[in-house]
Amino acid sequence: MIRSASMKLGKKTLKLKFSTRALIRIEAENGGQSFDTLLDQLITGAGGVTLMASALGAGLNDGKGIDPDQALDLIDQAGGVRKLVPLVAQAIGAAFDVKSAADEDGQVDETSEAGEAAPGEAAPGKGSAAAEA
């Protein structure tokens, strides 16, 4: 089962899931590029606002998608694309079971504070290139 990520936006709870339906829509809306290529662009921020809006529109409503204009309105309500980068990062992690090397070894760096990445690792939404999108 593909997991989703959620975020409160005012009185709404946004649920973003990169379901198979969402991935196909994102590919179609972005010139038929493979999702692997688009994922790299999402992570680095190279896809810009257009790709972020496409990913949000396709993956919101728990992977069922919403109208592109509704996605743009939600971006504005959130205060811009950068405010939604953490939601997208969480959804990527949930859908693709992204784990750090420490997680894979079953070890956690006890010297790191909660929410901080271990040395050499980027925490979602903190200092990552995607946060600059």
Q: For residues 43 and 133, is the Cβ–Cβ distance under 8 A? A: no
**Mean pLDDT confidence for 28-35:** 96
Distance CA 62, CA 8 (A): 14
Q: For residues 52 and 65, is the Cβ–Cβ distance under 8 A? A: no
Range with the lowest mean pLDDT among 38-42, 74-78, 100-104? 100-104
Identity of the residue numbered 80: G
Residue 104 has pLDDT above 70, yes or no: no
Distance CA 59, CA 16 (A): 5
**Where residue 121 falls among pLDDT bands split at 50, 70, 90?**
very low
**Where residue 99 falls among pLDDT bands split at 50, 70, 90?**
low
Distances (CA, A) of 46 to 52, 72, 113: 10, 18, 30
Residue 81 has pLDDT above 80, yes or no: yes
From the CB of residue 41, how many other CB atoms can be counted at a distance below 10 Å? Answer: 18
